[in-house]
Structure 1
Amino acid sequence: MDERRTFSRAGDPSRADAAPEPERPEPEQSGPGQSGPGRQRWPIRVFAGLILLAAVLLLWPFADWSWWPIVIGLGVLVLVSLLRLDRVLFGWAPHLAGLVVVVLMAARSDPWAWGLAAGLAVLVAGFTRLPDWRVLAAGAAVTLVCGVGYGVAHYRTTAQLRADQAAADTRYRQSRSALPAEAVLPSITTDIAADDAVKACGILGSPAGQQFAAAFGAPDCASAVHQLNARVVNPRGYANPRLPAGSVVKRSDHTATVLGCRAWPDPAAAPGPPLGQFELRLYQGSTYLITGYRSCG
Protein backbone atom coordinates (compact mmCIF):
# COMPACT_ATOMS: atom_id res chain seq x y z
CA MET A 1 0.00 0.00 0.00
CA ASP A 2 2.75 2.45 0.92
CA GLU A 3 4.81 1.35 -2.09
CA ARG A 4 1.91 2.04 -4.51
CA ARG A 5 1.39 5.46 -2.99
CA THR A 6 5.06 6.34 -3.41
CA PHE A 7 5.12 5.11 -7.04
CA SER A 8 2.00 7.10 -7.90
CA ARG A 9 3.39 10.25 -6.35
CA ALA A 10 6.71 9.98 -8.23
CA GLY A 11 5.24 9.08 -11.63
CA ASP A 12 2.52 11.75 -11.73
CA PRO A 13 3.88 14.68 -13.77
CA SER A 14 1.03 16.93 -12.66
CA ARG A 15 2.08 17.00 -9.06
CA ALA A 16 3.72 20.14 -7.78
CA ASP A 17 6.55 18.36 -6.07
CA ALA A 18 7.69 16.61 -9.32
CA ALA A 19 11.34 17.14 -10.27
CA PRO A 20 11.76 20.08 -12.76
CA GLU A 21 13.12 19.31 -16.21
CA PRO A 22 16.52 20.87 -17.10
CA GLU A 23 16.32 24.06 -19.19
CA ARG A 24 17.33 23.70 -22.84
CA PRO A 25 19.59 26.40 -24.21
CA GLU A 26 17.92 28.56 -26.84
CA PRO A 27 19.41 28.12 -30.31
CA GLU A 28 21.59 31.04 -31.38
CA GLN A 29 20.06 33.24 -33.99
CA SER A 30 21.76 33.13 -37.34
CA GLY A 31 21.03 35.05 -40.45
CA PRO A 32 21.97 38.26 -42.16
CA GLY A 33 22.70 39.93 -38.82
CA GLN A 34 25.60 37.58 -37.93
CA SER A 35 28.99 36.53 -39.23
CA GLY A 36 29.50 33.66 -36.85
CA PRO A 37 28.09 32.00 -33.70
CA GLY A 38 26.97 34.70 -31.30
CA ARG A 39 28.56 37.50 -33.35
CA GLN A 40 26.47 40.42 -34.56
CA ARG A 41 27.07 41.77 -38.04
CA TRP A 42 26.80 45.41 -39.00
CA PRO A 43 23.47 46.57 -40.38
CA ILE A 44 23.25 46.02 -44.11
CA ARG A 45 22.91 49.73 -44.90
CA VAL A 46 25.99 50.60 -42.86
CA PHE A 47 27.90 47.78 -44.50
CA ALA A 48 26.85 48.87 -48.01
CA GLY A 49 27.71 52.48 -47.20
CA LEU A 50 31.21 51.51 -46.08
CA ILE A 51 31.77 49.56 -49.30
CA LEU A 52 30.63 52.54 -51.42
CA LEU A 53 32.84 54.90 -49.42
CA ALA A 54 35.82 52.59 -49.85
CA ALA A 55 35.15 52.36 -53.60
CA VAL A 56 34.96 56.17 -53.90
CA LEU A 57 38.24 56.65 -52.01
CA LEU A 58 39.99 53.97 -54.05
CA LEU A 59 38.75 55.19 -57.45
CA TRP A 60 39.40 58.86 -56.79
CA PRO A 61 43.16 58.74 -57.56
CA PHE A 62 42.46 56.81 -60.78
CA ALA A 63 39.94 59.51 -61.77
CA ASP A 64 42.70 62.18 -61.60
CA TRP A 65 41.36 63.49 -58.26
CA SER A 66 38.42 65.06 -60.04
CA TRP A 67 35.81 66.67 -57.77
CA TRP A 68 33.05 66.58 -60.37
CA PRO A 69 31.78 63.07 -59.56
CA ILE A 70 31.51 64.01 -55.87
CA VAL A 71 29.74 67.28 -56.68
CA ILE A 72 27.28 65.47 -58.96
CA GLY A 73 26.67 62.83 -56.29
CA LEU A 74 25.87 65.52 -53.73
CA GLY A 75 23.58 67.15 -56.29
CA VAL A 76 21.72 63.85 -56.71
CA LEU A 77 21.32 63.59 -52.94
CA VAL A 78 19.95 67.14 -52.70
CA LEU A 79 17.58 66.52 -55.63
CA VAL A 80 16.26 63.32 -54.04
CA SER A 81 15.65 65.19 -50.79
CA LEU A 82 13.86 68.08 -52.51
CA LEU A 83 11.62 65.70 -54.46
CA ARG A 84 10.85 63.72 -51.29
CA LEU A 85 12.12 60.57 -52.97
CA ASP A 86 14.09 59.61 -49.88
CA ARG A 87 10.89 58.18 -48.42
CA VAL A 88 10.41 55.96 -51.45
CA LEU A 89 14.02 54.78 -51.20
CA PHE A 90 13.52 53.81 -47.52
CA GLY A 91 16.76 55.38 -46.32
CA TRP A 92 18.88 54.34 -49.29
CA ALA A 93 19.18 57.83 -50.79
CA PRO A 94 22.82 58.35 -49.62
CA HIS A 95 23.72 54.98 -51.10
CA LEU A 96 22.17 56.00 -54.43
CA ALA A 97 24.28 59.18 -54.44
CA GLY A 98 27.37 57.15 -53.57
CA LEU A 99 26.64 54.74 -56.40
CA VAL A 100 26.41 57.67 -58.82
CA VAL A 101 29.82 58.90 -57.63
CA VAL A 102 31.35 55.43 -58.06
CA VAL A 103 29.96 55.07 -61.58
CA LEU A 104 31.21 58.51 -62.65
CA MET A 105 34.66 57.89 -61.20
CA ALA A 106 34.82 54.47 -62.84
CA ALA A 107 33.96 56.08 -66.18
CA ARG A 108 37.04 58.32 -65.84
CA SER A 109 39.39 55.40 -65.17
CA ASP A 110 40.20 52.11 -66.90
CA PRO A 111 38.76 48.61 -66.28
CA TRP A 112 41.85 47.49 -64.36
CA ALA A 113 41.25 50.34 -61.91
CA TRP A 114 37.64 49.19 -61.52
CA GLY A 115 38.78 45.68 -60.67
CA LEU A 116 41.43 46.97 -58.27
CA ALA A 117 38.91 49.15 -56.46
CA ALA A 118 36.41 46.28 -56.33
CA GLY A 119 39.05 43.92 -54.95
CA LEU A 120 40.04 46.39 -52.23
CA ALA A 121 36.38 46.92 -51.35
CA VAL A 122 35.93 43.16 -51.02
CA LEU A 123 39.03 43.12 -48.80
CA VAL A 124 37.40 45.69 -46.52
CA ALA A 125 34.26 43.56 -46.45
CA GLY A 126 36.34 40.48 -45.67
CA PHE A 127 37.90 42.09 -42.60
CA THR A 128 34.45 42.75 -41.20
CA ARG A 129 33.51 39.07 -41.63
CA LEU A 130 36.46 37.55 -39.82
CA PRO A 131 37.02 34.82 -38.67
CA ASP A 132 35.32 33.75 -41.92
CA TRP A 133 38.35 34.22 -44.19
CA ARG A 134 36.78 33.24 -47.53
CA VAL A 135 35.65 36.76 -48.49
CA LEU A 136 39.03 38.14 -47.42
CA ALA A 137 40.85 35.58 -49.61
CA ALA A 138 38.64 36.38 -52.60
CA GLY A 139 39.28 40.10 -52.18
CA ALA A 140 43.04 39.52 -51.92
CA ALA A 141 43.02 37.44 -55.13
CA VAL A 142 41.04 40.04 -57.09
CA THR A 143 43.26 42.85 -55.77
CA LEU A 144 46.43 41.00 -56.72
CA VAL A 145 45.31 40.16 -60.27
CA CYS A 146 43.87 43.60 -61.04
CA GLY A 147 46.77 45.39 -59.34
CA VAL A 148 49.30 43.57 -61.53
CA GLY A 149 47.15 44.21 -64.61
CA TYR A 150 46.82 47.90 -63.80
CA GLY A 151 50.56 48.23 -63.19
CA VAL A 152 51.46 46.59 -66.51
CA ALA A 153 48.84 48.57 -68.45
CA HIS A 154 49.85 51.84 -66.80
CA TYR A 155 53.53 51.22 -67.50
CA ARG A 156 52.82 50.44 -71.16
CA THR A 157 50.60 53.48 -71.49
CA THR A 158 53.22 55.78 -69.95
CA ALA A 159 55.99 54.32 -72.09
CA GLN A 160 53.86 54.64 -75.22
CA LEU A 161 52.98 58.25 -74.38
CA ARG A 162 56.65 59.09 -73.93
CA ALA A 163 57.55 57.40 -77.20
CA ASP A 164 54.74 59.21 -79.02
CA GLN A 165 55.79 62.53 -77.50
CA ALA A 166 59.42 61.97 -78.48
CA ALA A 167 58.37 61.09 -82.03
CA ALA A 168 56.16 64.17 -82.19
CA ASP A 169 59.01 66.37 -80.95
CA THR A 170 61.33 64.90 -83.57
CA ARG A 171 58.80 65.51 -86.34
CA TYR A 172 58.29 69.06 -85.12
CA ARG A 173 62.02 69.80 -85.08
CA GLN A 174 62.44 68.27 -88.50
CA SER A 175 59.54 70.26 -89.93
CA ARG A 176 61.09 73.47 -88.57
CA SER A 177 64.57 72.62 -89.85
CA ALA A 178 63.55 71.26 -93.28
CA LEU A 179 64.41 73.73 -96.06
CA PRO A 180 64.71 73.82 -99.84
CA ALA A 181 68.23 72.87 -100.83
CA GLU A 182 68.90 76.35 -102.26
CA ALA A 183 67.91 77.99 -98.95
CA VAL A 184 70.22 75.98 -96.68
CA LEU A 185 73.34 78.16 -96.97
CA PRO A 186 71.51 81.54 -96.80
CA SER A 187 69.63 80.37 -93.71
CA ILE A 188 72.80 79.31 -91.89
CA THR A 189 74.72 82.47 -92.79
CA THR A 190 71.77 84.68 -91.78
CA ASP A 191 71.63 83.02 -88.35
CA ILE A 192 75.41 83.33 -87.92
CA ALA A 193 75.27 87.01 -88.86
CA ALA A 194 72.52 87.52 -86.26
CA ASP A 195 74.41 85.37 -83.70
CA ASP A 196 71.29 83.19 -83.41
CA ALA A 197 72.85 79.92 -82.27
CA VAL A 198 69.51 78.34 -81.33
CA LYS A 199 68.08 78.66 -84.82
CA ALA A 200 71.31 77.83 -86.65
CA CYS A 201 71.98 74.70 -84.60
CA GLY A 202 68.33 73.72 -84.91
CA ILE A 203 68.68 73.74 -88.69
CA LEU A 204 71.95 71.81 -88.55
CA GLY A 205 70.56 69.17 -86.21
CA SER A 206 72.58 66.13 -85.18
CA PRO A 207 75.15 64.84 -86.13
CA ALA A 208 75.69 67.69 -88.59
CA GLY A 209 75.85 70.19 -85.70
CA GLN A 210 78.62 68.20 -84.02
CA GLN A 211 80.55 67.96 -87.27
CA PHE A 212 80.07 71.71 -87.79
CA ALA A 213 81.48 72.44 -84.32
CA ALA A 214 84.46 70.09 -84.84
CA ALA A 215 85.28 71.70 -88.17
CA PHE A 216 85.84 75.06 -86.44
CA GLY A 217 87.46 73.65 -83.30
CA ALA A 218 84.51 74.53 -81.04
CA PRO A 219 83.19 72.37 -78.17
CA ASP A 220 79.63 72.51 -79.47
CA CYS A 221 77.48 73.96 -82.22
CA ALA A 222 76.43 77.08 -80.28
CA SER A 223 80.06 77.97 -79.51
CA ALA A 224 80.94 77.56 -83.16
CA VAL A 225 78.16 79.96 -84.17
CA HIS A 226 79.37 82.57 -81.65
CA GLN A 227 82.97 82.24 -82.88
CA LEU A 228 81.92 82.65 -86.52
CA ASN A 229 79.72 85.64 -85.68
CA ALA A 230 82.76 87.43 -84.23
CA ARG A 231 84.50 87.03 -87.61
CA VAL A 232 81.64 88.49 -89.68
CA VAL A 233 82.65 91.93 -91.09
CA ASN A 234 79.57 92.61 -93.23
CA PRO A 235 76.41 91.04 -91.69
CA ARG A 236 74.14 92.05 -94.58
CA GLY A 237 76.47 90.70 -97.24
CA TYR A 238 77.15 87.55 -95.23
CA ALA A 239 73.40 86.88 -94.89
CA ASN A 240 73.01 86.94 -98.71
CA PRO A 241 75.57 84.57 -100.21
CA ARG A 242 75.62 84.17 -104.00
CA LEU A 243 76.13 80.58 -105.04
CA PRO A 244 77.19 79.98 -108.65
CA ALA A 245 75.39 77.48 -110.83
CA GLY A 246 76.12 73.88 -109.98
CA SER A 247 76.69 74.57 -106.28
CA VAL A 248 73.57 72.62 -105.33
CA VAL A 249 73.75 69.00 -106.48
CA LYS A 250 70.57 66.92 -106.25
CA ARG A 251 70.72 63.16 -106.78
CA SER A 252 68.18 60.48 -107.65
CA ASP A 253 68.56 58.74 -104.28
CA HIS A 254 66.82 61.71 -102.58
CA THR A 255 70.06 63.21 -101.30
CA ALA A 256 71.74 66.49 -102.17
CA THR A 257 74.93 68.45 -101.52
CA VAL A 258 75.35 72.21 -101.07
CA LEU A 259 78.88 73.40 -101.92
CA GLY A 260 79.11 76.41 -99.62
CA CYS A 261 82.80 76.89 -100.32
CA ARG A 262 81.88 78.43 -103.70
CA ALA A 263 79.96 81.35 -102.19
CA TRP A 264 83.07 83.51 -101.71
CA PRO A 265 85.93 82.27 -103.83
CA ASP A 266 88.16 85.15 -102.64
CA PRO A 267 88.53 84.91 -98.84
CA ALA A 268 89.96 88.43 -98.69
CA ALA A 269 86.75 89.87 -100.14
CA ALA A 270 84.39 87.62 -98.16
CA PRO A 271 82.01 89.36 -95.72
CA GLY A 272 82.67 86.61 -93.19
CA PRO A 273 84.18 83.17 -92.68
CA PRO A 274 83.48 80.76 -95.54
CA LEU A 275 81.35 77.71 -94.83
CA GLY A 276 81.91 74.22 -96.14
CA GLN A 277 79.85 71.44 -97.67
CA PHE A 278 76.40 70.43 -96.43
CA GLU A 279 74.97 66.97 -97.03
CA LEU A 280 71.17 66.81 -97.31
CA ARG A 281 68.41 64.21 -97.31
CA LEU A 282 64.95 64.72 -98.82
CA TYR A 283 62.32 65.21 -96.11
CA GLN A 284 58.95 66.17 -97.63
CA GLY A 285 58.08 67.62 -101.01
CA SER A 286 61.06 69.72 -102.03
CA THR A 287 62.44 70.29 -98.52
CA TYR A 288 65.64 68.71 -97.16
CA LEU A 289 67.24 68.00 -93.81
CA ILE A 290 70.95 68.56 -93.16
CA THR A 291 72.57 65.20 -92.38
CA GLY A 292 76.28 66.05 -92.50
CA TYR A 293 78.89 68.80 -92.75
CA ARG A 294 82.53 69.05 -93.68
CA SER A 295 84.86 72.00 -94.12
CA CYS A 296 86.12 73.41 -97.37
CA GLY A 297 89.63 72.16 -96.81
Structure 2
Amino acid sequence: MTEEPPRNPPPPDIDPEQLRQFQEFQRFQEFQRFQQGQGTPALPAGAGTPALPPAVPVPVPPVAPPPKPPRTPLWRILLGSKAFRRLIYFLVVVLILSLVYDHYFGPSDEESDPRAQGSQEQVARIPKTPWNANGTVGRLYQHVGRDTPDQGCLLFTRDGAAKKKFAEAFGAPDCESAIRRLHEQVTNLAEYEKAYPDDPGTQETRVRVSSCEFKVNGGPRLGWFELTKLEPSGGWAISDYKAEPAGCGPG
Protein backbone atom coordinates (compact mmCIF):
# COMPACT_ATOMS: atom_id res chain seq x y z
CA MET A 1 0.00 0.00 0.00
CA THR A 2 1.34 3.38 -0.92
CA GLU A 3 1.20 6.28 1.52
CA GLU A 4 -1.17 9.13 0.73
CA PRO A 5 0.24 12.62 0.71
CA PRO A 6 -0.89 14.81 3.62
CA ARG A 7 -4.03 16.83 2.95
CA ASN A 8 -2.83 20.02 4.69
CA PRO A 9 0.76 20.37 3.91
CA PRO A 10 2.63 22.39 6.42
CA PRO A 11 2.88 26.00 5.45
CA PRO A 12 6.12 27.12 4.06
CA ASP A 13 8.39 29.05 6.32
CA ILE A 14 7.15 32.68 6.76
CA ASP A 15 9.40 35.54 7.46
CA PRO A 16 8.57 36.98 10.95
CA GLU A 17 8.59 40.52 9.62
CA GLN A 18 6.06 39.64 6.94
CA LEU A 19 3.88 37.90 9.52
CA ARG A 20 3.91 41.00 11.72
CA GLN A 21 2.92 43.25 8.82
CA PHE A 22 0.16 40.86 7.86
CA GLN A 23 -1.26 40.84 11.42
CA GLU A 24 -1.21 44.64 11.53
CA PHE A 25 -3.04 44.77 8.22
CA GLN A 26 -5.72 42.45 9.57
CA ARG A 27 -6.18 44.61 12.69
CA PHE A 28 -6.42 47.71 10.51
CA GLN A 29 -9.16 46.12 8.42
CA GLU A 30 -11.08 45.14 11.59
CA PHE A 31 -10.80 48.73 12.86
CA GLN A 32 -12.12 50.08 9.50
CA ARG A 33 -15.11 47.75 9.64
CA PHE A 34 -15.78 48.91 13.25
CA GLN A 35 -15.70 52.58 12.21
CA GLN A 36 -18.03 51.92 9.28
CA GLY A 37 -20.48 50.23 11.66
CA GLN A 38 -20.36 53.33 13.97
CA GLY A 39 -20.93 55.76 11.09
CA THR A 40 -17.36 57.11 11.24
CA PRO A 41 -15.58 57.46 7.88
CA ALA A 42 -12.87 54.94 7.43
CA LEU A 43 -9.32 56.08 7.60
CA PRO A 44 -7.14 55.62 4.60
CA ALA A 45 -4.58 52.93 4.66
CA GLY A 46 -1.38 53.98 6.31
CA ALA A 47 -3.04 56.73 8.34
CA GLY A 48 -2.16 54.98 11.52
CA THR A 49 -4.21 54.52 14.65
CA PRO A 50 -6.50 57.54 15.36
CA ALA A 51 -5.74 59.55 18.45
CA LEU A 52 -8.09 59.09 21.35
CA PRO A 53 -9.87 62.18 22.78
CA PRO A 54 -8.28 63.67 25.84
CA ALA A 55 -9.51 62.28 29.10
CA VAL A 56 -12.03 64.47 30.93
CA PRO A 57 -11.05 64.92 34.58
CA VAL A 58 -13.71 63.66 37.02
CA PRO A 59 -14.59 66.38 39.57
CA VAL A 60 -13.79 65.39 43.11
CA PRO A 61 -16.42 66.52 45.66
CA PRO A 62 -15.05 68.74 48.43
CA VAL A 63 -14.39 67.08 51.72
CA ALA A 64 -16.70 68.38 54.46
CA PRO A 65 -14.94 69.64 57.59
CA PRO A 66 -15.39 67.50 60.69
CA PRO A 67 -18.33 68.55 62.93
CA LYS A 68 -17.56 70.74 65.91
CA PRO A 69 -17.78 69.01 69.28
CA PRO A 70 -20.88 70.03 71.33
CA ARG A 71 -20.40 72.79 73.88
CA THR A 72 -20.34 71.78 77.52
CA PRO A 73 -23.42 73.13 79.42
CA LEU A 74 -22.77 75.94 81.89
CA TRP A 75 -24.24 74.02 84.83
CA ARG A 76 -21.83 71.16 84.21
CA ILE A 77 -18.90 73.58 84.10
CA LEU A 78 -20.03 75.15 87.39
CA LEU A 79 -20.49 71.78 89.08
CA GLY A 80 -17.03 70.81 87.97
CA SER A 81 -15.54 73.95 89.51
CA LYS A 82 -14.09 73.51 93.00
CA ALA A 83 -14.52 77.21 93.77
CA PHE A 84 -18.23 77.06 92.95
CA ARG A 85 -18.77 73.98 95.13
CA ARG A 86 -16.95 75.62 98.01
CA LEU A 87 -19.19 78.70 97.67
CA ILE A 88 -22.31 76.52 97.82
CA TYR A 89 -21.03 74.72 100.93
CA PHE A 90 -20.24 78.05 102.56
CA LEU A 91 -23.74 79.45 101.90
CA VAL A 92 -25.37 76.30 103.26
CA VAL A 93 -23.29 76.50 106.44
CA VAL A 94 -24.13 80.18 106.91
CA LEU A 95 -27.85 79.48 106.47
CA ILE A 96 -27.78 76.64 109.00
CA LEU A 97 -25.89 78.75 111.54
CA SER A 98 -28.36 81.61 111.05
CA LEU A 99 -31.33 79.32 111.67
CA VAL A 100 -29.69 77.84 114.76
CA TYR A 101 -28.90 81.29 116.13
CA ASP A 102 -32.46 82.55 115.60
CA HIS A 103 -33.86 79.44 117.22
CA TYR A 104 -31.74 79.53 120.38
CA PHE A 105 -30.75 83.19 120.74
CA GLY A 106 -33.58 85.12 119.06
CA PRO A 107 -35.61 87.74 120.95
CA SER A 108 -38.07 86.15 123.34
CA ASP A 109 -39.76 89.13 125.00
CA GLU A 110 -41.75 90.42 122.00
CA GLU A 111 -44.92 88.61 122.99
CA SER A 112 -45.04 90.36 126.42
CA ASP A 113 -44.49 93.89 125.08
CA PRO A 114 -47.26 95.22 122.82
CA ARG A 115 -44.91 97.93 121.52
CA ALA A 116 -42.67 95.24 119.98
CA GLN A 117 -45.46 93.18 118.45
CA GLY A 118 -45.86 92.90 114.69
CA SER A 119 -44.57 90.65 111.93
CA GLN A 120 -42.33 91.90 109.15
CA GLU A 121 -45.33 92.32 106.86
CA GLN A 122 -47.17 94.21 109.59
CA VAL A 123 -44.22 96.50 110.28
CA ALA A 124 -43.96 97.34 106.58
CA ARG A 125 -47.64 98.36 106.41
CA ILE A 126 -48.21 100.12 109.75
CA PRO A 127 -47.98 103.94 109.48
CA LYS A 128 -45.45 105.92 111.47
CA THR A 129 -48.19 108.07 113.02
CA PRO A 130 -51.72 107.46 114.35
CA TRP A 131 -52.91 110.84 113.08
CA ASN A 132 -54.00 112.51 109.85
CA ALA A 133 -55.01 110.87 106.57
CA ASN A 134 -51.92 108.64 106.41
CA GLY A 135 -52.12 107.63 110.07
CA THR A 136 -53.22 104.26 111.45
CA VAL A 137 -56.85 105.25 112.19
CA GLY A 138 -57.25 107.03 108.86
CA ARG A 139 -55.85 103.98 107.05
CA LEU A 140 -58.35 101.72 108.81
CA TYR A 141 -61.22 103.88 107.53
CA GLN A 142 -59.72 103.68 104.03
CA HIS A 143 -59.48 99.86 104.14
CA VAL A 144 -63.10 99.63 105.26
CA GLY A 145 -64.17 101.92 102.41
CA ARG A 146 -62.12 100.00 99.81
CA ASP A 147 -63.01 96.54 101.19
CA THR A 148 -59.42 95.41 101.80
CA PRO A 149 -59.79 93.48 105.07
CA ASP A 150 -56.43 91.69 104.99
CA GLN A 151 -54.53 94.97 104.96
CA GLY A 152 -56.87 96.60 107.44
CA CYS A 153 -56.41 93.86 110.04
CA LEU A 154 -52.62 94.23 109.85
CA LEU A 155 -53.05 97.56 111.61
CA PHE A 156 -53.84 95.70 114.86
CA THR A 157 -51.20 94.23 117.21
CA ARG A 158 -50.31 90.60 116.69
CA ASP A 159 -51.64 89.34 120.03
CA GLY A 160 -55.17 89.46 118.57
CA ALA A 161 -56.94 90.93 121.62
CA ALA A 162 -57.86 94.23 119.92
CA LYS A 163 -58.92 92.48 116.69
CA LYS A 164 -61.18 90.17 118.66
CA LYS A 165 -62.89 93.10 120.40
CA PHE A 166 -63.29 94.89 117.07
CA ALA A 167 -64.93 91.85 115.46
CA GLU A 168 -67.27 91.23 118.41
CA ALA A 169 -68.39 94.86 118.42
CA PHE A 170 -69.85 94.39 114.92
CA GLY A 171 -71.10 90.83 115.37
CA ALA A 172 -68.46 89.23 113.14
CA PRO A 173 -66.42 86.03 113.74
CA ASP A 174 -63.12 87.74 112.95
CA CYS A 175 -61.53 91.05 112.00
CA GLU A 176 -61.71 90.43 108.24
CA SER A 177 -65.41 89.63 108.37
CA ALA A 178 -66.08 92.75 110.44
CA ILE A 179 -64.40 94.97 107.83
CA ARG A 180 -66.44 93.35 105.05
CA ARG A 181 -69.70 94.02 106.96
CA LEU A 182 -68.72 97.63 107.62
CA HIS A 183 -67.85 98.10 103.94
CA GLU A 184 -71.45 97.23 103.01
CA GLN A 185 -72.56 100.33 104.97
CA VAL A 186 -70.30 102.72 103.03
CA THR A 187 -72.38 104.96 100.77
CA ASN A 188 -69.79 107.52 99.63
CA LEU A 189 -66.19 106.33 99.40
CA ALA A 190 -64.69 109.72 98.60
CA GLU A 191 -66.22 111.31 101.73
CA TYR A 192 -65.58 108.28 103.91
CA GLU A 193 -61.84 108.29 103.18
CA LYS A 194 -61.64 111.80 104.62
CA ALA A 195 -62.34 110.45 108.13
CA TYR A 196 -59.21 110.73 110.30
CA PRO A 197 -58.14 112.39 113.58
CA ASP A 198 -55.97 115.49 113.57
CA ASP A 199 -52.51 115.40 115.16
CA PRO A 200 -52.66 116.88 118.70
CA GLY A 201 -48.87 117.07 118.84
CA THR A 202 -48.39 114.54 121.65
CA GLN A 203 -45.03 112.84 122.21
CA GLU A 204 -46.36 109.82 124.11
CA THR A 205 -45.84 106.21 123.03
CA ARG A 206 -49.49 105.27 123.66
CA VAL A 207 -52.47 107.36 122.52
CA ARG A 208 -56.26 107.04 122.47
CA VAL A 209 -58.44 108.08 119.55
CA SER A 210 -62.25 108.30 119.55
CA SER A 211 -64.21 108.30 116.29
CA CYS A 212 -66.72 110.59 118.03
CA GLU A 213 -64.11 113.35 118.06
CA PHE A 214 -63.69 113.84 114.29
CA LYS A 215 -65.96 114.14 111.29
CA VAL A 216 -67.14 110.94 109.56
CA ASN A 217 -69.37 111.06 106.46
CA GLY A 218 -70.39 108.48 103.87
CA GLY A 219 -70.17 105.44 106.16
CA PRO A 220 -70.15 104.04 109.70
CA ARG A 221 -68.02 105.22 112.61
CA LEU A 222 -65.55 102.58 113.72
CA GLY A 223 -65.27 103.29 117.47
CA TRP A 224 -62.57 104.02 120.06
CA PHE A 225 -58.95 102.96 119.59
CA GLU A 226 -55.87 102.74 121.72
CA LEU A 227 -52.65 102.80 119.69
CA THR A 228 -49.16 101.75 120.80
CA LYS A 229 -45.89 102.71 119.19
CA LEU A 230 -43.96 99.63 118.07
CA GLU A 231 -40.26 99.33 118.76
CA PRO A 232 -37.89 99.55 117.00
CA SER A 233 -39.87 100.17 113.80
CA GLY A 234 -41.70 103.26 115.13
CA GLY A 235 -45.05 102.24 113.61
CA TRP A 236 -48.35 102.75 115.46
CA ALA A 237 -50.58 99.65 115.87
CA ILE A 238 -54.06 99.34 117.40
CA SER A 239 -53.56 97.60 120.75
CA ASP A 240 -57.06 98.02 122.26
CA TYR A 241 -60.62 98.74 121.07
CA LYS A 242 -64.05 99.79 122.39
CA ALA A 243 -67.37 100.25 120.64
CA GLU A 244 -69.00 103.70 120.57
CA PRO A 245 -72.53 104.90 119.79
CA ALA A 246 -73.13 105.13 116.05
CA GLY A 247 -74.66 108.61 116.18
CA CYS A 248 -71.99 110.30 118.27
CA GLY A 249 -69.71 113.14 117.20
CA PRO A 250 -69.89 115.73 114.43
CA GLY A 251 -71.64 114.71 111.22
TM-score w.r.t. length of structure 1 = 0.42
Q: Which has the higher contact order (CA 8 A, sep 6+)?
A: 2
Higher helix share: 1
**Higher Rg:** 2
TM-score w.r.t. length of structure 2 = 0.48
